[in-house]
């Protein structure tokens, strides 16, 4: 590359733990490239968990907007995001902005870029359920973001097909794989994390919950199912890193606290969590990222939702949707505990979410663009 080529300023915006995890490989790849000056902005939509992930991936934000407030409404958060992101765009004048996923941080960042006519790149573009209310508000966030983005970094052919079906120009869509697989591979290569292992004769059930649609009655139904399963199966031990949101923490501790084989713990660091997940017999979760990570580790997942935008692993038989009804959860888990053949059929040797090179492909697309523009 010509040493006199101008350096392009790229701003990466993150606000939650999953965004940091999935953007960390992109941030590090951009920082390795002499063509880019990469600046990281943290919105702190989720303060504690975002900070934890930033430390784990050795990322120091260039600007922290510190927007998290107790019991904040989506409207109030979005208004503050729009105002603050617009301010930094006007001050920094970046050549491009990147964000990942479908949170309010991503939606507001994309909209601010549109207003200021700054090119926006959407990482993990094209995920859809087809129902604007499920998940809420993520489906709306990512759908609107797709109308704004200049670059659509699609993780799978299905995601690319969704974008094409919405009229996105084919040349604007780049099939990259999912950056979470990059982060997963990088984590597994670390030699400073202890290996987790289940005790002899023990089967671990890893549980995570955080989505708004799980709050209230669905969450209580899930907890009832977990307690019933542990009481029925003496070899079953539950590990449940509890999300700090009071809408999760309070009812979970009330329903499941004190059981000798249900371990309620604070949210784990990513590298530790990956090793716990690798040692699990089965995962119950409403998380999106876990639907991508666990299949790559050979661990089956039962999704505690009625819809999912990640159909690939379901089509490959690695993941199943079970919803939130107590009876459905108990039946699905018990079948896997009792039927070795059924359980084995959910373990595959190849992930549908990529090969761990997604970040490099994203940087290659940006490099080609700005080399042409220079």
Catalytic residues: 102, 124, 138, 210, 212, 243
Alpha-carbon distance of 306 to 87, in angstroms, equals 39
Residue 170 is classified by DSSP as G
SS3 26: helix
Q: Long-range contacts of range 195-202, CB-CB < 8 Å, 24 or more positions apart? A: 195/275, 196/272, 196/275, 196/276, 196/278, 196/279, 197/279, 198/237, 198/279, 198/280, 198/281, 199/237, 201/235, 202/235, 202/236, 202/237
Cα 300 from Cα 321, distance rounded (Å)? 11
Q: Which residues pair with 342 in a beta bridge?
A: none
Distances (CA, A) of 93 to 66, 120, 147, 148: 21, 13, 22, 18
Note whether 14 and 47 are within 8 A (CB). no
The answer to whether 267 and 244 are in contact (CB under 8 A) is yes
Q: What is the largest CA-CA distance in the chain?
A: 69
């Amino acid at each position: 590359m010509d040493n006199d080529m101008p350096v392009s300023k790229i701003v990466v915006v993150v606000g939650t733990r999953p965004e940091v995890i999935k953007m960390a490989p992109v941030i590090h790849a951009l920082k390795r490239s002499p063509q880019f000056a990469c600046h990281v902005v943290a919105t702190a939509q989720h303060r504690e968990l975002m900070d934890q992930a930033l430390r784990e991936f050795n990322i120091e934000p260039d600007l922290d907007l510190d927007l998290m407030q107790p019991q904040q409404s989506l409207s109030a958060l979005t208004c503050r995001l729009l105002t603050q992101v617009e301010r930094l765009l006007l001050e920094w004048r970046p050549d491009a902005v990147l964000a990942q996923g479908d949170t309010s941080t991503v939606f507001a960042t994309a909209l601010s870029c549109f207003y200021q006519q700054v090119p926006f790149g959407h990482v993990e573009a094209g995920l859809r359920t087809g129902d604007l209310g499920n998940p809420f508000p993520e489906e709306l966030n990512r759908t609107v973001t797709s109308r704004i983005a200049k670059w659509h970094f699609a993780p799978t052919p299905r995601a690319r097909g969704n974008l094409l079906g919405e009229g996105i120009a084919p040349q604007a869509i780049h099939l990259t794989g999912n950056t979470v697989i990059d982060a997963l591979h990088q984590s597994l290569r670390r030699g400073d994390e202890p290996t987790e292992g289940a005790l002899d004769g023990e089967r671990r059930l890893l549980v995570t919950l955080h989505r708004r649609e799980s709050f209230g009655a669905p969450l209580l139904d899930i907890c009832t199912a977990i307690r019933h399963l542990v009481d029925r199966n003496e070899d079953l031990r539950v590990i449940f890193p509890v999300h700090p949101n009071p809408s999760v923490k309070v009812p979970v501790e009330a329903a499941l606290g004190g059981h000798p084989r249900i371990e309620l713990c604070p949210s784990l660091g990513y590298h530790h969590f990956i090793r716990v997940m690798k040692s699990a017999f089965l995962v119950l979760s409403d998380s999106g990222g876990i639907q991508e990570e666990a299949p790559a580790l050979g661990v089956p997942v039962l999704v505690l939702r009625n819809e999912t935008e990640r159909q690939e692993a379901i089509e490959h038989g690695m993941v199943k949707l079970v919803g939130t009804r107590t009876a459905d959860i108990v039946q699905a888990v018990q079948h896997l505990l009792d039927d070795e053949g059924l359980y084995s059929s959910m373990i595959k040797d190849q992930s549908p979410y990529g090969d761990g090179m997604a970040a490099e492909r994203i940087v290659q697309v940006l490099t080609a663009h700005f080399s042409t523009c220079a």
